[in-house]
Amino acid sequence: MDERGTTAGAWVALAHEALLDHVDRGDARHALHHLLSALARRLGGPCRLAALQPDGTPRWQMSAMPGLSAPPPQAAEDAPRQLPLTRLGRQVGLLQLPGGATPVPAAALQPVCETMAALLLSERDPAEAPPRAGYVQMIRGALEGGGTFVWEWDIDSDQLSDIDEGLQQLGYDAQALGRTQDDWDRLIHPDDVAANHQAYLAHARGETDHYEHAYRIRTRDGHWRWYQERGRIVDWHDDGRPRRMVGTQSDISEQRQREQAASLIAARLERLAQHVPGILYQFELDADLTPRFPYMSERARTLLGLDPALAALDAAVLMDRIVPEDRERVTASIIESAHALTLWAWEFRVRVAPDELRWIRATSSPLRLPDGSTVWHGYMQDVTELRELERARQDKAAAEAANRAKTDFLSRMSHELRTPLNAVLGFAQLLEIDRTDPLSDGQRRRVKLIRESGEHLLQMIGDLLDLTRIESGSLQVQIDAVPLRTLVEEALNMLRPQAEAAQVQLRLELPGDDLAARADRTRLRQVLLNLLSNAIKYNRPDGSVELQVAPAPSADGASWLTIRVSDTGMGIAAADLPHLFEPFNRLSQAGGAIEGSGIGLSVTRALVTLMHGRIQARSTVGIGSSFEVTLPRA
């Protein structure tokens, strides 16, 4: 139980400590101050004690605060309470307690009030104070009705006195049992006897201020009950041996049952918390804004690398791990939630290791306690991956938006450029064939350059338009059975003038006339023209280009066809092959004399993929290259 515990046993313990302190020191005022300070801590507010003369006028007064520099503000309905302190029919003092929504009943404070009255009487008139041997009677009067009995032990004779009440609590006849410590020890559970004796020896050696121990004791009907025993040696021999001891015993069986029940609930909660991905926690902010974590589930070890027990002792263990940029805002949001009693939800970064930073999302609900503190019950979870996924989603959305904008721009520009370019090409062709006003040889060469450059630019625009349509998914293909002989001969015939101009021989190897592929005829012809054109363009004089068509074996039993275009050109470096089909990447030819856009091969691969085929390239520098297209056979 914390400092604010309010069970009957807590008030009895306070009274007992004060009386034992007085027995030991013989200083009533010191014992009163100690008791008043402990009372203020438990009640969470200022307490005052006034000592009265026999005529009722004040003699002196003292006050105690609950660890604060100034008392907290109180509402009108929380005005302090005053309890008279009487002894032997006379009022000897006045006790002032803090008010509150749920004040402690006066009956529960009876042990404390009785003790204060006895000490005040002793302090006011030493002649009326009982002799040292009579303090047992004073203790008994103070604790009467609190479920506690008083004992006195003559250590030399090993005789216990005043234990009749204790025996009656256990159901025994007071005359049926012996009165020695050994007789009492036979009632204690065998597993607790040794520890009980060690607690006494520690006090006798001066290692502890008083003797205290909890043990199990057997009742007359054979059951075991829990007793809390406290005592202090009050008389010593001249050689330092203990002579006499007084103390109290309280039945704490119900308290132990409550503790065990609470322990079971806590264990059940912890077992449930082990199956929760995040951290269950309780966070408290007292009246002077001191933070602590009364509870934090074990998941904190794996999630934050944090010992929950350390967090319960000092909230700074976690707060100091929050990155400085977030810590101030987190603290301000907690204080705002405490004032407004609104749901607290926040995301912040925690450094769980020198090189590891995690995003934590915490959500909790506040509750105001009677003492002015605020407690939150909530849940923390690691949202680092969610943050990264969200950032990746936003980056992807931004990239897709940029790509759509680029595709739309290229598509529009391609269409816009084709119209004036077709006009340029048309007039260039008209100039070349105009017989009424023929061109000179120099003019014809210049018009030819205009036409060839325009055709090259038109092809680039066409490839660019195809690429944008492919990237946007708007290019459709019509898959049919396409006879290959007619298609490949058509492609070769279209490129034969280019091959003759480059002094390159074209060859065809096609077994039979019945080979057909499942493809889009227009797009397959475009693929062949791109591959053959490149093979001619990057060849050498007196080189050759060979086009081969053949059935392709397949391990999955499907039927395929292979179209291979091989050349005897300069070849492609091994380091460039992985980047061969990247758009706008001309590799080593980027600064060469051969014209090109770097789009053709990327369009070729995209078209082959759309037709459910695949393409691969092999090359050896100085020997040549080979491009192989594999398509389903019709």
d(CA 233, CA 199): 13
Domains 298-382 and 480-632 share a fold: no
The rounded distance, in Å, linking the Cα atoms of 169 and 172 is 8
Tell me the CA end-to-end span of the chain in Å, nearest whole number.
Answer: 85
What's the pLDDT at 273?
A: 63
pLDDT tens for residues 591-611?
455 665 678 888 899 999 999
Find, among 233, 248, 33, the residue nearest to 123 by Cα: 33
pLDDT of residue 63: 92
pLDDT (tens digit per residue) in 361-394: 999 999 998 878 899 998 998 898 888 888 888 8
- Identify whether the C-beta of residue 60 lies closer than 8 Å to the C-beta of residue 52: no
CA distances from 197 to 16, 190, 215, 247, 441 (A): 21, 12, 11, 15, 127
CATH number for domain 298-382, candidates 3.30.450.20, 3.30.70.2190, 3.30.565.10, 2.30.300.10? 3.30.450.20
Question: Domain residue spans in the chain?
Answer: 1-146, 150-273, 298-382, 388-472, 480-632
Top-level class of domain 480-632: alpha beta
In which residue ranges of the chain is pLDDT below 70? 1-9, 23-24, 67-79, 88, 100-103, 125-147, 266, 269, 272-275, 554-558, 586-597
CATH number of 388-472: 1.10.287.130
How far is 428 from 444, CA to CA, in rounded Å? 10
pLDDT at 74: 45
Second CATH level (architecture) for the domain 150-273: 2-Layer Sandwich (3.30)
pTM: 0.40
